[in-house]
């Protein structure tokens, strides 16, 4: 064992005795398994896989894994998986929380309890750093129990560190060897699963026995493919946000005088905003992908909102709710251009009070800068990250839009085109949703993902992401398998090198797939069940 390894005392961080009734009532809710996992199954390989893009580059980056088939669990058949096998499996939570993570771990633990004998599960503490530092806890039934069907990632906590440098791979390797790990399950988003695949490749290349399986996690819903229909946590988070949005909508209708600008989490894609819009039917919804596709500007988005407010006012409605994705401005090229120019200027020049510095901006960027509300202008100039760059993530988009709409309405009022006193309120729904109690859907889905990950490791697979499908059907009919992580990958050029990436899934503008796809019905059924309508 490396000198820094710390096997923390296996005492759960939660006492069920202090649980609220609803938390306690969720503890023993039984978790149905897909029927394929309930009796003997065989693990069947599919055809040779390729990559999502640039297969020749992916092949170079993953010489040992590229092309490997995806696997599917088929019922019956003569399973080669021995119940007498004893496995040592590590599990790690990587990145931001998503409801259901504890159930993935429960699923892995239960698989090993039921389908192997004398196995051990190590929970690495605080994310990938726990692997590198050899900081872990050995899981027991007593340790895992309080977390069943509960929100949060606090069973073993999470972290955002990555295993990237040769030294870090070496550290991970040492921990794997020290603990004699047969397998590792990485529960994370697109980056973490890419990292999991690199680790699988590394171990395979060095003939280390540790196999690596990923699990699709992110409330943002942007890690999905044909075989991974949804990332876990998305369902719960959207329902939590929708409840709050619904309340705000009732509030708007009751007072009849406020427009609520609601920013929703989800920076790279607008899935959460779209799903919440489908669930709650707000007055206006801005989808980042649509803004990008239509090449809209901040001015045109502002005008779009203002036009609707004016139209509604003519009809006698002076209130409403507007949903805005957190990442909106990342979808607007002119904003990206302005920020790039600002980063350049702020790095080399003095920003004078009189504004002479603005002459260095290109005319389109200058115009946009002048269009921004003063508080946002100031934020762009003052708040910088340690590298001196403008902190785009800190811009409160909902406040910015509200101020721009106010300015536009003032103008129209002076022109006699709008007659009311506009009142706006802003909200950001984010952290409240990441740690909620998982819905039945997320609880079941995660348990199956974890159970399936156990089966994949047991059958010797590596470099796959646990994949549970046919989600619109009852749980019994769900399919279970693993998708080759390399088949989800493309490359990006960074610092002159090709880097493998799992492409983020964006909102498809060709149609509201949530209405048609398998997840649509599952989500509705879950909503009914979770809120007690089954009683």
Catalytic residue among 110, 220, 235, 442: 220
Minimum distance, C-beta of residue 66 to its own copies, in the bound complex (Å): 34
Q: Cα(396)–Cα(327) distance, rounded to whole angstroms?
A: 10
Minimum distance, C-beta of residue 350 to its own copies, in the bound complex (Å): 17
- Inter-CA distances, 368 with 62, 299, 305, 362, Å: 44, 8, 18, 10
- Inter-CA distances, 145 with 56, 105, 113, 322, 497, Å: 46, 11, 13, 41, 45
- The two tokens of residue 62 are 């993953």
Q: Show contacts with its own copies in window 231-260 (CB under 8 A).
A: 240, 244, 246-248, 250-251, 253-256, 260
Residue 220 catalytic?
yes
Residue 322's closest CA among 307, 339, 337? Answer: 307
433 counts as binding its own copies under rule CB under 8 A: yes
Minimum distance, C-beta of residue 233 to its own copies, in the bound complex (Å): 12
Angle at 132 between CA 127 and CA 137, to 5 degrees: 60
527 counts as binding its own copies under rule CB under 8 A: yes
Residue 208's closest CA among 217, 216, 199? Answer: 199
Angle at 357 between CA 355 and CA 362, to 5 degrees: 110
- Identity of the residue, 438 or 452, whose beta carbon is nearer to its own copies in the bound complex: 438
Question: Applying CB under 8 A, which part among 80-88, 151-159, 479-487, 505-513 lies near its own copies?
Answer: 151-159
- The two tokens of residue 52 are 């999502």
Question: Applying CB under 8 A, which part among 103-111, 204-212, 425-433, 462-470 lies near its own copies?
Answer: 425-433
178 counts as binding its own copies under rule CB under 8 A: no
Of 146, 152, 325, 482, the residue at the interface with its own copies (CB under 8 A) is: 152
- Inter-CA distances, 90 with 55, 158, 259, Å: 30, 14, 49
Place of tokens 């983020």: 504
34 counts as binding its own copies under rule CB under 8 A: no
Minimum distance, C-beta of residue 83 to its own copies, in the bound complex (Å): 34
461 counts as binding its own copies under rule CB under 8 A: no
Q: Within a 10 A sphere around the Cβ of 526, how many other Cβ atoms?
A: 22
Q: What are phi and psi of 91, to 5 degrees?
A: -135, 145
Residues 78-117, mask of contacts with its own copies (x by CB under 8 A): ------------------xx--------------------
- Identity of the residue, 224 or 427, whose beta carbon is nearer to its own copies in the bound complex: 427
362 counts as binding its own copies under rule CB under 8 A: no
Q: Cα(251)–Cα(176) distance, rounded to whole angstroms?
A: 54
Active-site annotation, residues: 220
Name the residues that contact its own copies, by CB under 8 A.
Answer: 13, 20-22, 24-25, 96-97, 126, 151-154, 157-159, 240, 244, 246-248, 250-251, 253-256, 260, 425, 427-428, 431-436, 527-528, 531-533, 535
């Amino acid at each position: 064992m490396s000198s820094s390894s710390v096997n923390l005392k296996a005492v759960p961080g939660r006492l069920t005795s202090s649980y609220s009734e609803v938390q306690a009532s969720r503890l023993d809710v039984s978790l149905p398994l897909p029927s394929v996992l309930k009796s003997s199954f065989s693990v069947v390989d599919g055809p040779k896989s390729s990559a999502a893009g640039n297969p020749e580059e992916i092949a170079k980056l993953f010489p040992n894994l590229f092309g490997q088939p995806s696997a599917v669990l088929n019922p019956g058949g003569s399973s080669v998986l021995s119940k007498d096998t004893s496995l040592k499996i590590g599990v790690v939570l990587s990145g931001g929380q998503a409801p259901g993570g504890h159930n993935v771990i429960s699923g892995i633990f239960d698989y090993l309890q039921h389908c192997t004998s004398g196995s051990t599960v190590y929970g690495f503490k605080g994310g990938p750093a726990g692997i590198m530092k050899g900081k872990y806890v050995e899981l027991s039934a007593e340790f895992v129990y309080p977390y069943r069907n509960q929100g949060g990632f606090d069973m073993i906590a999470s972290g955002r560190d990555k295993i990237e440098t040769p030294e870090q791979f070496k550290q991970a390797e040492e921990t794997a060897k020290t603990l004699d790990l047969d397998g590792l399950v990485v529960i994370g988003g697109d980056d973490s699963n890419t990292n999991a695949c690199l680790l699988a490749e590394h171990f395979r290349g060095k003939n280390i026995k540790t196999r690596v399986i990923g699990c699709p996690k992110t409330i943002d819903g942007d890690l999905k493919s044909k075989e991974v229909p949804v990332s876990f946590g998305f369902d719960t988070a959207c329902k939590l946000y929708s409840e709050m949005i619904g309340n705000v909508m009732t509030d708007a209708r009751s007072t009849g005088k406020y427009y609520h600008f609601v920013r929703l989490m989800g920076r790279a894609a607008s899935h959460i905003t779209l799903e919440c819009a489908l669930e709650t039917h707000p007055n206006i919804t801005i989808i980042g992908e649509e803004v990008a596709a239509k090449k809209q500007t901040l001015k045109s988005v502002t005008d779009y909102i203002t036009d609707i407010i004016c139209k509604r006012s003519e009809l006698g409605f002076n209130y409403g709710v507007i949903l805005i994705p957190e990442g909106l401005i990342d979808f607007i090229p002119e904003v990206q251009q302005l920020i790039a120019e600002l980063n350049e200027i702020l790095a080399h020049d003095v920003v004078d009070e009189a504004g002479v510095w603005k002459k260095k901006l290109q005319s389109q960027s200058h115009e946009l800068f002048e269009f921004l509300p003063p508080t946002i202008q100031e934020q762009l100039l003052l708040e910088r990250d340690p590298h001196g760059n403008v902190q785009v993530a800190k811009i409160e988009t909902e406040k910015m839009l509200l101020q721009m709409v106010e300015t536009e309405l003032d103008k129209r009022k002076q022109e006699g085109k709008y007659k009311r006193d506009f009142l706006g309120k802003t909200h950001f729904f984010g952290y409240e949703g990441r740690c909620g109690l998982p819905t039945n859907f997320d609880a079941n889905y995660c348990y199956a993902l974890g159970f399936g990950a156990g089966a994949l490791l047991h059958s010797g697979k590596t470099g796959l992401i646990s994949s549970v499908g046919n989600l619109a059907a009852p749980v019994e009919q769900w399919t279970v398998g693993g998708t080759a992580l390399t088949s989800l990958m493309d490359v990006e050029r960074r610092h002159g090198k090709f880097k493998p990436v799992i492409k983020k899934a964006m909102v498809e503008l060709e149609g509201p797939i949530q209405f048609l796809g398998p997840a649509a019905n599952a989500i509705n059924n879950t909503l009914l069940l979770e809120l007690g309508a089954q009683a």
